[in-house]
Amino acid sequence: MVRRQLSLNDRGRAIGWLQDGHTQRSVARRLNVSQSVIGRLWQRFRTTNSIQNRSRSGRPRSTTAREDRFLMITALRQRFVTPRRLRDQPRAATGNNVSDQTIRNRLRDQALRCRRPVVRLQLLARHRRAHLDWCRRHIRWNRGQWAETLFTDESRYLLQFNDGRVRVYRRQGERFADVNVV
């Protein structure tokens, strides 16, 4: 059985079927959830006359859905922005003061993770053409000729101190996208 949360639409359909006389088991089978989910939904509907989630204990969210979307869009437009700078933008617009950790949590909820960027030379169209031309000129080389070739662009040499704290916000699978490369 697949575990998933019922949407409000599915909850309403389930309650309608139960009121029409269908069994909890048949409704659960139709919605591909366990019977206990439908049983709890039916019990809650009979006691509260509502299919909405009940309010939960704990601290209320400090950001609204609109602010969460704003943070996500800003992080996608400015991939190398820090949580501290992201925090200042909604504060200026709405006056809402949130912590850096809240910013990180909201971005993580949107599947944006803070990662170290890939460090490589940016290949422009002329670089790609030059690489392709070079490959075409050397396509017929034998092992002896390749043995005398040294590729120096595979090693990283630092001329100045780098603390490595540059971060980029990206989704899974976007590691080598040009906007995420330093």
pTM for the full model?
Answer: 0.49
Measured between alpha carbons, how far is 106 from 83 in angstroms, rounded to an integer?
A: 11
The token pair at 136 is 């075409």
- The full set of domain ranges for the chain reads 8-48, 63-136+163-182
- In this prediction, residue 121 carries a pLDDT of 74
User: What's the pLDDT score for residue 162?
Assistant: 57
pLDDT score at 158: 58
Q: What is the pLDDT of residues 124-178, one digit of tens each?
A: 889 889 989 998 999 999 999 988 887 766 555 556 665 566 778 788 888 878 7
| pLDDT the model gives residue 147 | 87
Please tell me the predicted confidence (pLDDT) of residue 1.
44
pLDDT tens-digit readout, 76-97:
898 888 888 888 876 777 777 8
Cβ–Cβ under 8 Å, residues 17 and 30: yes
pLDDT of residue 139: 92
Give pLDDT tens digits for 22-78: 999 999 999 989 999 999 999 999 999 988 887 778 888 888 888 888 888 988 898
Residue 24: per-residue pLDDT: 93
| Higher local confidence (pLDDT), 98 or 5 | 98
